[in-house]
Structure 1
Amino acid sequence: MFQLVFKGECAPGTDMATARSNARALFKASVEQIERMFSGSPVVIRNKLDEEQAEKYRAVLKKHGMVAYVQPMSGNAAHNQTKPAPAATPASAIPEPVKPVSATANPQHSTGAPGVEPGDRLTVAGDKVDDILAGSTLGLDPVGVTLAEPGEAPPPMFQHLDDWTLAPAGSDIGIERDLPPHVVPDVSHLSLADNESKKQ
């Protein structure tokens, strides 16, 4: 069995904003889910797929500007999914000691490998992914395609310009105010004493 893993990568020729918009419309996801999808950490989009189904989903994501990876599911994870209480097995057949479920519920935090079931991570589409992908009509044009023909904008219309004039350079165009005249005090009764008068 295979699983489809997304690591937040965009297809060549697709910018991040376009890929995010396509993902939100494709998976009917919330803003928080989209942020987690494009955080850079591996996110399991769908699991328990045969190789043909996984490649089909990968092609759909690529068409919408997202790079996904088809990876084989972990044998231990698939075994635990079908048989939660494993029977006694010879020690030579087990590569590592069997640990409690609480210690292995989320191994991706320590290894970063996307070999875990999606229950501990983001479940973007869930069981409805088939209907979502089948009903999608989104598509991407090749790079350089004009999406909308440019239209001719009408020239701007300026009214009442005939009543406007330009003042000469240096003119004071502020508001004129009536200011009182400067008052010059009467100093006719004042005089200056010479140096000899000061000595006396």
Structure 2
Amino acid sequence: MSEARYDIYFRGDLLDGFYADFVKADMAQLFKTDPARLEAFFAGTPQPVKLKVDKPTAAKYKAALEKIGAKPIIVPMGKAPPAVANPTPQPEANTTDQDTKVAPASAGASDWTILPPGSDIGEHRDIQPMSVDISGLSLAQMGAALVEQQPRPTPVQVDISGLSLDEPGATLVDHPNRPAPVQVDISALSLDEPGAILVDGEPTPVPPAPDISHLTLE
């Protein structure tokens, strides 16, 4: 016996608390496509999402679509989806002072509607609260220091009994007697004319010419 197969359709029906614009954006991200290409899926006519899938795959698609607020239609393979019905209407808001409702947008117009002040315009997601273990936490007494201060070291006691203050302007350091400068006799020195050679030296001899008598040109 062959395994049962199923066809998955979507015609724009939404779960309670979800809005078409948000669902359309999430569906585009889910199927990695442009939101503009999903307009036909929200027009009220069943559109195929996935055909000829087994039961686990159908359940996987159902869970993924319902998580973002889309209500899929799953039928046995080859069976036509239910007759065309109006998609789940968007939440309509009552006016503040009158008992009239905002008219839905016409075909081809924007899906936006005007809600009264204070309305929840966000989509409701099934988010599980995070469980945080706080069993190891406790409350301190009012006014208690939350951060323990490290004990400061005991200041060092310095004996200054042998120190005293001198009079203002007194020289604190006595300079030893400096030796008298050395007297150098420069009476035998004189200045030469500018450009004079100060050091006399023997002239450098000219090196002898090399002997090339034994060389010939070929």
Instruction: Give the TM bin, normalised by the shorter chain.
Output: 0.3 to 0.5
The structure richer in helix per residue is 1
TM-score, normalising length: structure 2: 0.33
Point out the structure with max Rg over C-alpha: 2
